[in-house]
Structure 1
Amino acid sequence: MARERLIYVIAGEPSGDAIGEKLITAIRNQYGSGVEFVGLGGPAMESVGFQSRFPISELSVMGLVEVLPHLWRILGRIRETADDIVRQNPDAVVTIDSPSFTVRVVKQLVGRYQGPKIHVVAPTVWAWRPGRVHKFKKYFDHLLTILPFEPTYFQRVGLASKFIGHPVLEYGVQEADDRAFRKDHGIDSDQKLICILPGSRRGEVARHLSIFGEALARYRAAWGDVFAVIPTVPAIRAFVEEGVSGWPEPPIIVSTPLEKYQSMKASNLALAASGTVALETALAEVPTVIAYKVSPLTAFIVRRLIKVDYVNIINILAGKEIVPECLQEKCSPDVLADILGELSAASGQSQIQQVRPYLSQLASSEGRPSEVAAQYIIEVSTPETSVDLP
């Protein structure tokens, strides 16, 4: 009796975990019950029956310098994962984002695994290190991108690439019940709520939380009392709770996707570490300021490699700063508080209006991102089936 189709999925961080959960569900809906998933994932993927080989929180390290203390452990996990793929010999390997981990895993499969290797979420070669297109061509067979302008960069070197749409569009933030959140937490409709998003990795939270807390205190001093909510992920919730234990007014802390999107939709303002959350707050139509800080050495290196003027996708698509960006030296309590104050006035509504046209560019004409990706993966993992793209 033939075995079920086996797909090895690797999602090494929370954003990839969310994509993986939608992808697994979409593949099951399209292919039926005759498919099994193994590999690495987090709580979202586990919620649909996936079992991760080890906690992906071990991989949640960000920054060129910050990763060094964890290097040997991560290298060990890379070897373990590659060996497990060879042993299981799946019908396809699907890696999601986390290129510093996933590329190294796939590199160790050379000469040992012959099935299709599909990567979801292209590396930002349009922003820095454009030479990575050749690395991805060398180690992957297919690439599914989440930004409309990305396929061309990889098709030029012969890597089959397809735009599937941005996964943030199907996370559910637009449909979240803001009134239910305010009711559950005793926040009246006329009371202000600020959504604080310091990052999904422990290192990001360590760098941003105290700065964001001081910015909140300064905003309160100038604009009056305001509620605050911090959406986080289960793996670092205790760390966040410890970090805010000394705040004069403890914020609300939530750690489920439902509560996260309800809290965003219920908020009047957002202060967010750069990343996917900035698109989520845009979809929730919440005026947002983006902030990010890394070690001085990491910042020094990145600034000499970066090729774009902005870090926020909306700003990149627009070619101008619609959503304020406060990076490194600008990521300070005073600057952040001042911008939050400006967003409390007319500039906040102006931001919402200006963002809308660029959000529409993130959708695929073929359907939901997970559905488009699922169909592609099923096709390329079926024997004697190939997908030809320009």
Structure 2
Amino acid sequence: MTEQIHADASAFAVRPSSHPRSLAERTAALEHLAFGTTFSDHMAHAVWTPDAGWHDQRIEAYGPISLDPAAAVLHYAQEIFEGLKAYRHADGSVWAFRPEANAHRFATSAHRLALPELPAEHFLGSIEALVRTDLEWVPDSPGSSLYLRPFMFASEPFLGVRPAKQVDYLLIASPSGPYFTSGFQPVSIWVAEDYHRAGPGGTGAAKCGGNYAASLLPQQQAAAHGCAQVCFLDAATNTYLEELGGMNVFLITDDGAVHTPELTGTILEGVTRSSILQLLRDDGRDVHERQITLAEITEQVASGRITEIFACGTAAVVTPVGHLKGAEFDLTVADGNAGALTQWLYGHLTDLQYGRTPDPYGWMRRLD
């Protein structure tokens, strides 16, 4: 069972927006949901300085923020973020999936980027306070959710390479539909052999913008080859599979065993990844966290030894991989349909998240 950490929602004073969207405007916005393009009426905000610590916590109207042109984040990229979702259950209640894990990872990322750690009770409190303020923005259409984006950045205006002495924390919310507009269908993945996401001793295990910026050019390369996502190899040897631009990856072999790259400090420890590992082990599966070479994958996909590949992450949950492409190979993993285990995992996770099945792990946290 997940330990329930106290959420201090009362620390965030609610300052209602003077210009919230009307019922008609909100209804129209919720009718045609994409991912991450529409935002609710409010946001959470807090400020940190060395003398005062975290202070001025509030829920305020969503809107532009004012930054000095010398704000450190604009010059030295000292920032982190998280991603999680709020789900509307059939009885109208609203729940988050494992937000304590996101709070822990947010603190870990802050440490790596020399940012102040936000206490877990304030991280969770900001989520509860914002969701309760914008409860009507949690959609109830199939596959929809309220995507939550906490982030922290260096706002002190100065030019100099050192940790900032003023930091802002914000949380915004976006009612969203499925991440992939094609739905739960196999996607094509491009394996980048000329670019890398992160190197040993770098920020690969932190959720910071620089890691994603580094993935954008190879993502363009992937799109040019008809692929939806890019997969990276390790920077040290250019040999081992690591992760996609924003998701972890799993392989299933013909003996029913499941394999995923081990965490080495260059791979983000995904909340969905750890949840899947728990579900697989409780199902009696043979699970291996290990180093996996690209040569092994191409040989075993070609021979039929690897029967399924899927990626996972908060936004897409579970995504089946249909084709694996690279400069010198083009392999079909699944043609048209996701594999049985991939489908089972997607169904089991989403049933938990939407309250359609009991939660024996204590992963769901009620917000409203």
TM-score normalised according to structure 1 size = 0.31
- Higher share in strand: 2
- Higher share in helix: 1
**Higher RCO (CA 8 Å, separation ≥ 6 residues):** 2
